[in-house]
Chains A and B, each alone.
Chain A
Amino acid sequence: MKELGVILRKNIRDYGMFIALAVIFVLFTILTNGTFISPYNISSLINQTGYIAVLATGMTLVIIVRQIDLSVGFLSGFLGAIAAILMMNYHVPAILAILIVLALGAVIGLFFGVLIAKVGIPAFVVTLAGMISFHGLLLFATQAGGTINITDKFFNEIGNGFIPSFGKIGGFAVSTLVIGLIGIVLFIYFQFKARNTKKKYNFEVLPMPFFIAKIAFIVALIAALILVLAMNNGISWTFVIVFVVVSIFTVILNKTAFGRHIYAVGGNPEAAELSGINVANVLIYTFVIMETLTALSGILFASRMQSASPTAGTGFELLAIAGAFIGGCSANGGVGKVTGSLIGSLVMVSLTNGMDLMGLGSSIQYVIQGIILVLAVVFDILTRRSQAVG
């Protein structure tokens, strides 16, 4: 029992977001008389999380290197509008429009990165200016008709479509069940493999019973999610895209030299510099990645809405930043995980979704989101302090 206490205290930072998520789920299920937990709502919750999770992935990198990006909300709205205009007004094929918008995001990131890393303007200033300018550009782009409707089938499928189901068994989409099963088996296999490697190197591992409990808990979550999704329309394309993005960046952060450089620059920029790391370049790449992912987020959102509107992207930066902090990024930099930010985004979007279902106005929603952001950082600082003293 004492052991459990120690393990809990050591990992409180990691478990905190799951606790928050559980509380939110139970709370909204009660408050909405079960609508919140219905398969249809869970499915759309996942898709809503998609465009925020993509932003939060980039934001994780940005926060690890001790920077911030306030521009991502309106930039995502603006780039979504660009995609819409390219397709609707200039009849550019959807694929090409997507590539152009992604490239545009990368270029903007490069520009930001150079201003921040080479010229030395604080990221806060650069991206605040960006936020205001992109808001203006978004209004300008959508000025003519207010909202640009997108009629491209392929494009709209990204945010609304599902993978082929290959029929249904007892109301469950077959392909989703199969993928879910394979996923669970692979997950268990890799967890055990990682644990064995750690043991081989004499690293600390969770004691077996806790390890099993942890795996059982996560497997149960995945299984529940898969079943709920399969009951609806199955796995969505958005889900697939987020999965791919999160996987890629998890691997980049953990397994590549660039990932190490990011953690080093965030942990101690001077030491990184003297270790032969090109700090300026790391910052520039980080912003290129951030703004490219912002473009992707804009595409996902426009596709989901099947339109580009003057209010697209409003408040996304807050959701993404809060998601990253809830997911374990440290306000002091040097710490953070993409998977954590994914859960963090889910927390924030569940909150929004639940409040929408309850019919709360956006005014009160903003206030609550703001409070949650501050609480997340307070929680972070307190847990780190208690761990430092031992």
Chain B
Amino acid sequence: MNNKFDVIVVGSGITGGWAAKEFCEKGFKTLVVERGRNLEHPSSEYTDMQAPWNIENRNKVSEVYDEEGRYAAVSGYGYFKNATKQFFADDKEFPYSYPKERPFKWVRGYQLGGRSITWGRQSLRWGKKDFEANAKDGHGVPWPIGYDDLAPWYDYVESFVGVSANKDGLAVLPDGVFQKPWELSAAEQVISDNLKKVFTDRHLVVGRAANITEPTEEQQALGRGQCQARSYCKRGCTFGAYFSSLSATLPAAKRTGNLTIVTDSIVTRVDYDEATGKAKGVTIIDAKTKEKREYQARVVFLCASALGSVQILLNSKSKSFPNGIANSSGAVGHYIMDHFTGVLANAEVPGLDDKFAYGRRPIATYIPNYRHDKTDDADFVRGFGYQATAQHRTDTGTAAKREGIGAAVKDLSKQPGPWRFRTLMYGEMLPYFDNYASLHPTKKDKWGIPLLHIDAQIRDNERKMIKQASIDIQAILKAGGCTDIKLNETPENEHIKIGDRIHEMGGACMGEDPKVSVLNKWAQAHDVPNLFVTDGACMSSCATQNPSLTYMAITVRSVDYAAKLLRKNII
């Protein structure tokens, strides 16, 4: 096989899929290198057509995994079920490292499509203030771009992705190119209306889902159909109704004839040409045979997920870059962030006993961050929002875990119960230089690649936010008309695992100053002009919104820029 391309894209997840599509559509011969196995779409690994009784093991993950210490990072979590387990990486097979007292949770999907198969599809724009935060309060490296730089690219990706959302008119959560929104439930509507009467800054809106409700011609041409409200998205979608690399970007790239994909190929390093001062290409290890191969290209895009790309950068050592490529600043691996929670609340929404819901809405609701600006009651900087839901009324459950057997107990089971609204705080973690990822000095995986060691924790500012979020949510629930509020706050001495929200970011942050940042405003390495990192590693702060839509917008903007440089033969 030819090993020379115009562009190499490392990773085929959300960002890699986009980079591939854009380069291919612009006429560049593009190689996507993916460490995981190949998957087709629709895939025989999708389980979305299985009713509960048809799912192997009634959707229980085999206990043998626990016994063998496999999938420890994801075991027991709601998204890790028998029907979805094939889309998650087993940390026993793909180990990483962290300090014993500060476990880090690295949730990965090693297959063609990466985590675009299992993501929650909440697609939120960041607002102006989110990009200004670092410069304003002095934490981390100031962003070299603002909302206006990304706005047209948000439009562009939303049109292709298909985001079903309401135009809420909120500056903190800018509106975009949307398809028909999902409706609020009766209970959510009551809370949303009540909040409007009490607050000007706290809003409950329906989530913004990368699930199509009004397929465009472009989407239909790719074989994508309307979302059927099954909410089995994490099992893969036979209808292609939610956005994934498999259903959307990779098929679009393929039809240009410019795409080559190699799977089971682990990129170990970006190869650097000392003579030209540019990246030559990448070296890979075949995941199955352990053979090494090299691929060359004029441009390399790292889209291996934030920490995956950091690992590759650090491992790409050369004479000029003894501490990893593009690392003259020493910032590679630093400023690791994630959203964090610490407050879980739920409450009854009374007075709706005659209301019911039908179908499974594939998205929750959202209370966007209303604390960008420091107020008198706040002893912290930045803010938090809440992911929330009351999409169905509760039911009385079963006696599986409580006393009671027999006909009477059975008759009382699974009967309609009250509406309850559940909320989960999502806080903005500050970018701390001391939260960092490095290569383990001695431990290696089975391919001989040094393990990534991740040492990150929340600190004082985040603990203070948790306290405030706990106070605030009670006020919000009361104002929303809720009763019987139940609150769960993480105690101050309990470690909160970074990575738990699966929005890990940072490690190769963007910034104007090459001395303190890794990438410029185009997510282009300051040190190596034909190397770009457009996944979550490039983020200089983490805001509170789910980040993938922003990664997409950054990726397509960078591709557009890189394509111009390629055409002008600058890189």
Tell whether A pairs with B: no
